[in-house]
Amino acid sequence: MTEHVFPDDFVWGSATAAYQIEGAATEDGRGPSIWDTYSHTPGRTLNGDTGDVAADHYHRWQEDLGHIADLGLDAYRFSISWPRVQPGGSGPFNRAGLDFYSRLVDGLLERGVRPVATMYHWDLPQELEDAGGWAVRDTALRFQEYAAGIVEALGDRVHTWTTFNEPWCSAYLGYASGVHAPGRTEPAAALAAVHHLNLAHGLAGRVVRELAPAAQLSVTLNLHVIRPASDSAADLDAVRRIDALANRAFLGPMLQGAYPADLLADTAAVTDWSFVREGDEATIAVPLDVLGVNYYSSTLVRAWDGLSPRSDADGHGKSAASAWVAADGVEFLAQPGPYTAMGWNIDPDAFTELLLRLHREYPGQPLMITENGAAFDDVVSPDGTIADDRRIDYLHRHIAAVAQARAQGADVRGYFLWSLLDNFEWGYGYDRRFGIIRVDYDTQVRTWKQSAHWYRRLIATGRLG
Ligand code: GBH
């Protein structure tokens, strides 16, 4: 196997999200978010799991900082819980909430770790959902106000501000398929959400530019690598349609200042896009210092004639409603294995392909891998060792895929592993473990898996053997 050597300035990190690790859902003035409501609604999450306690990071943040330092991470990506710092989503800020993140940021800086803060990782204050959620424009304006509050409080102590994590999930899983909070199944609302999330990104990005000019600005997208079942014109058109919904609905306005014409045409039966106002697209196109890319698996599609039985392999099979708005003519196919515990196929070549596509289509745009990792059923041996070889193999192959893309010119500046800790895996609750550090949910004891030791060595040497 070729050895890949990463330069000294390559950023090695790991990532988490507030609702997935913090717990303390009702402490110190935190208000409810859509994920509190959703996870407490019977039938929504596996085993009825909620983020009430999660990995109890809100109380164990100092111990967790110790793990971050021991791993030798250059950077740590976390998210700020909007309802913890501004409980109602508008109006007064909650000092205790802001102080929590302020201490965390200072603790990272003291240990020489770059704080990378995500403003929104899916936990909308419930009051804003009650007023229409991301389907209404006002939520984007509220987000601008929230952004100003947190950037004022943390400013350029935060090295990189990331506006959103995976707006694709917030819009389509939250409002079309309903497998994420708030659990709505309204295709037109999902497309309105796409736009209001994009708008909120632009508004918040401008807040960062103004209030923390020394900070870096980014957004994180879960971009899809979509493969056609054949090279027939119909299958290639299915790829084009899904690419528009999944990728270009965000990349278009953010990086090129306009929604793609084919997206508007494909979805015309669902909405006329009249929620896009004069000047919005220019607002959204705030220049980004880095584009964050989350990658886990690839997608295989073919054109569907509406007659043959259709498979349900879009990975969100719990819901009868599709995440793919106005894409009735597209069938999602199961892919060849191997798979992770999420049932997602393992396809590192698609990762290289994605990074090279971004390099080609958005030349000069620096890239950062803001999430990559895998859930597997970990086995704790009697001596306490967790030999998660399959996770190590997954990480190895995907980091090699990043090296491959870099060797071919892609400007990838760093890699954040998902995730530092086992955590609340959204609709799958605590059943699926992505951490390189195991969390025993009875005792909250943290134990390094072999993958954590492996990652520490990789960071120390910069060499992937
Ligand atoms: C990320 O979501 C989240 O940011 C993070 O919070 C989460 O814990 C982590 O990943 C692991 O799930 O729809 O068939 O094309 C990733 C969500 C996973 C959604 C892959 C799209 C593609 C399968 N994405 N999925 S398909």
Q: What pLDDT is attached to residue 317?
A: 42
Quick one: pLDDT band at residue 318, thresholds 50, 70, 90? very low
Interval 266-279 mean pLDDT: 98
448 - beta bridge partners? 437
Measuring CA to CA, which residue among 451, 415, 453, 454 is closest to residue 433?
451
Neighbours of 406 (CB within 10 A): 20
Under a CB-based contact definition with an 8 Å cutoff, are residues 38 and 101 in contact?
A: no
Cis link prior to 102 (omega < 30° from 0)? no
Residue of 35, 166, 295 to test ligand 1 pocket, by largest number of atoms within 8 Å of CB: 166
Q: Read off the pLDDT of residues 157-212 as tens digits, 9 standing for 90 and up.
A: 999 999 999 999 999 999 999 999 999 999 999 999 999 999 999 999 999 999 99
The residue ranking higher by pLDDT, 357 or 465, is 357
Instruction: Give the atom of ligand 1 at the shortest distance from the alpha carbon of 166.
Output: 4
Centre of ligand 1 from the C-alpha of residue 395, in Å = 16
Q: What pLDDT is attached to residue 419?
A: 98
Interval 218-247 mean pLDDT: 98
**Strands, E assignment, 25-110:** 75-79
Neighbours of 317 (CB within 10 A): 13
Quick one: pLDDT band at residue 464, thresholds 50, 70, 90? very high
H or E stretch covering 257: none
> Which range, of 54-58, 296-300, 302-306, averages the lowest pLDDT?
302-306
H or E stretch covering 439: strand 437-439
The residue ranking higher by pLDDT, 310 or 385, is 385
Measuring CA to CA, which residue among 291, 416, 418 is closest to residue 357?
291
Is any atom of ligand 1 closer than 6 Å to the C-beta of 165? yes
Q: What pLDDT is attached to residue 2?
A: 82
Q: Is the pLDDT of residue 108 over 70?
A: yes
The DSSP secondary-structure symbol of 121 reads S
Interface predicted TM-score of the whole assembly (ipTM), two decimals: 0.92
Q: What pLDDT is attached to residue 156?
A: 87
Ordered structural domains, the chain, with CATH? 4-223+345-464 (3.20.20.80)
Q: What pLDDT is attached to residue 307?
A: 75
Centre of ligand 1 from the C-alpha of residue 344, in Å = 9
Is any atom of ligand 1 closer than 6 Å to the C-beta of 296? yes
Measuring CA to CA, which residue among 113, 88, 221, 106 is closest to residue 163?
221
Interval 366-381 mean pLDDT: 98
Q: What pLDDT is attached to residue 313?
A: 56
Backbone angles phi, psi at 339, to 5 degrees: -120, 160
Cis link prior to 32 (omega < 30° from 0)? no
Interval 144-149 mean pLDDT: 98
Backbone angles phi, psi at 19, to 5 degrees: -65, -25
Under a CB-based contact definition with an 8 Å cutoff, are residues 82 and 125 in contact?
A: yes
Q: How far apart are the first and last CA of the chain?
A: 7
Under a CB-based contact definition with an 8 Å cutoff, are residues 299 and 226 in contact?
A: yes
Is any atom of ligand 1 closer than 6 Å to the C-beta of 314? yes
Q: Read off the pLDDT of residues 408-434 as tens digits, 9 standing for 90 and up.
A: 999 999 999 999 999 999 999 999 999
Centre of ligand 1 from the C-alpha of residue 296, in Å = 7
Instruction: Give the atom of ligand 1 at the shortest distance from the alpha carbon of 425.
Output: 8
Centre of ligand 1 from the C-alpha of residue 126, in Å = 23
Q: What pLDDT is attached to residue 320?
A: 80
Residue of 81, 294, 299 to test ligand 1 pocket, by largest number of atoms within 8 Å of CB: 294
Measuring CA to CA, which residue among 103, 2, 172, 116 is closest to residue 417?
116
Neighbours of 185 (CB within 10 A): 16
Measuring CA to CA, which residue among 295, 287, 405 is closest to residue 355?
405
> Catalytic amino acids?
166, 371
H or E stretch covering 31: none
H or E stretch covering 250: helix 249-251
Mean pLDDT, rounded, of the chain: 97
Q: Read off the pLDDT of residues 27-63 as tens digits, 9 standing for 90 and up.
A: 999 999 999 999 999 999 999 999 999 999 999 999 9
Q: What percent of the chain has pLDDT over 70?
A: 98
Instruction: Give the atom of ligand 1 at the shortest distance from the alpha carbon of 418.
Output: 9
Buried b vs exposed e over 14-27: b needs ≥16 C-beta within 10 Å? bbbbbbbbbbbbee
Per-residue H/E/C for 381-426: CCCCCECCHHHHHHHHHHHHHHHHHHHCCCCEEEEEEECCECCCCH
Q: What pLDDT is attached to residue 100?
A: 98
For the annotated binding site for substrate, the residues are 20, 121, 165, 296, 418, 425-426
Buried b vs exposed e over 289-312: b needs ≥16 C-beta within 10 Å? ebbbbbbbbbbbbbbbeeeeeeee
- For the full predicted model, state whether its pTM sits above 0.95: yes
Q: What percent of the chain has pLDDT over 90?
A: 95
Centre of ligand 1 from the C-alpha of residue 370, in Å = 12
Structure tokens belonging to residue 140:
């984007």
Is any atom of ligand 1 closer than 6 Å to the C-beta of 411? no
Instruction: Give the atom of ligand 1 at the shortest distance from the alpha carbon of 423.
Output: 8
User: 43: buried, middle or exposed (CB in 10 Å: 19+, 13-18, 0-12)?
Assistant: exposed
